[in-house]
Amino acid sequence: MLRGFYTAASGMLTMQRQQDALANNIANANTPGYKQDQASLRAFPEMLMYQMGARDIPTKQPINLPVQNPIGSLNTGVYVQEYVPDFIQGALRDTGVTTDLALIDGVFPDETGSIFFTVQNENGEPRYTRNGNFTVDGQGFLVTTQGYYVLNEAGNPIQTGGMEFTVTPDGGLQVGGETIQLGIAYTPNVNQLEKEGNGLYNGEAGPVPAGATFTVQQGFLEQSNVDAAQTMTQMMEAYRSFEMNQRVLKAYDESLGKAVSEIGRIG
C-alpha cells in the first residue's frame, strides 16, 4: 500500500513542476527570442515482483524447496528529469526600429546547431541570446534592454557613436563609413547550452562554420516560439493529472486510516 502512496505523491510533484514550466512559458509568450521549455519526464526503475513460496518434494526425507513465481513488473513513480529548451525558430515581427535585429536560421552542418548574438553580462563574461531587442545607450554603445553590451566578432562592445547604422544580411553593422561585424556565435549542439535568465545562455560556442547560412534582419524581432493555445491545453492536462493523483493519494490515506482504526481494533 505504501508503494502506491509514494507513486501517487511522485505523480503530483511531477505535474506541479511541469505546470511551473508551462506557466513560465506563458509568462514569456511575448518575450522576443524566448525559447519554450519542455519538461522531460522519466519513470523510476521498474521492479519485477515475485510471489515467494515453498514446495514439498515427496521423498523418504521430505524436502521443502523455496520457489518464486513471477507476478509482473511494478512502476514506482515518475519524475522530471530536466527542462529542455525548444530552439525552433520563432516568427518574425516587423517593428520598424533600426536597433531591432532578428536572426533567421539557414542551413547548418549540424542538425542540432544554431546561431546567437554574443553579449557581455554584468560580470564581463560572454553570453548568447536570440533576443535582438537592442538599443543604444548614452555612451553610444549597442546594448540589450538589460544594459548588456552587444559584442562584435572580436569580442569587444560595439560603439555606434550614437549615429544611425545599417545592418547587412550577413551581420555587418555599417556606421560612419566603417563596417563592424556582429559577434554571431554558433554552437553545434544547442542542448548543451544552459539558461541563465534574461534570455541569456551559457555554454560552448564559436564562429559560424564555413558552409553555414543565416540572415540578420534589421527592423525585425524574433518572437517567442510559445504556442499559447497549445500551452494552455497542456496546462489543463497537467492539472487534471494532478487531480487524479490527488484522489488516489486520498484513497490510500483513507485506507490506511481504516487499517489503523478499524481493522486493528479488538472487539
Check whether residue 68 and residue 96 sit in a common domain.
Answer: no
Task: Check whether residue 128 and residue 198 sit in a common domain.
Answer: yes
pLDDT at 264: 55
Instruction: Evaluate whether 32 touches 89 at the Cβ level (below 8 Å).
Output: no
Any domain includes 105: yes
**Quick one: pLDDT at residue 183?**
96
Same domain, 123 and 205: yes
In a domain, 214, yes or no: yes
Question: What is the residue range of 9's domain?
Answer: 2-83+234-263
Quote the pLDDT of residue 46.
72
Residue 174 lies in a domain: yes
The per-residue DSSP string of the chain comes to: -HHHHHHHHHHHHHHHHHHHHHHHHHHTTTSTT---EEEEEEEPPPEEEEEEEEEEE-SSS-EEEEEEEEEEEE---EEEEEEEE--PPPPEEE---TTBEEEEE---SSTT-EEEEEEE-TTS-EEEES--BEEE-TTSBEEETT-PEEBBTTS-BPB-TT---EE-TTSEEEETTEEEEB-EEEES-GGG-EEEETTEEES--EEPPTT--EEEEETEEEPP---HHHHHHHHHHHHHHHHHHHHHHHHHHHHHHHIIIIIT---
Q: How far apart are the first and last CA of the chain?
A: 25
Task: Tell whether 157 and 65 lie within a shared domain.
Answer: no
In a domain, residue 228? The reply is: no
pTM of the model: 0.79
- pLDDT score at 250: 86
In a domain, 147, yes or no: yes
Residue burial 99-120, b: 16+ Cβ < 10 Å; e: rest: bbbbbebeebeeeebbbbbbbb
Q: Tell whether 107 and 197 lie within a shared domain.
A: yes
Residues 98 and 9 in one domain: no
Mean pLDDT of successive 10-residue segments in the chain (267 residues)?
A: 76 91 94 92 74 73 75 76 90 95 93 94 94 95 95 95 94 94 95 90 92 94 94 94 89 77 61
In a shared domain, residues 96 and 189: yes
Q: Please indicate, yes or no, if residue 29 is contained in any of the structural domains.
A: yes
Judge if 212 and 107 occupy the same domain: yes
Question: Does 75 share its domain with 94?
Answer: no
Same domain as 181, residue 105: yes
Q: What is the pLDDT of residue 1?
A: 52
CA separation for the pair 143, 137 (Å, rounded)? 7
Q: Is residue 95 part of a domain?
A: yes
On whether both 196 and 119 belong to a single domain, the answer is: yes
Residue 227 domain-assigned (yes or no)? no
- Based on the fold, state whether residues 94 and 212 are members of the same structural domain: yes
Number of domains, the chain: 2
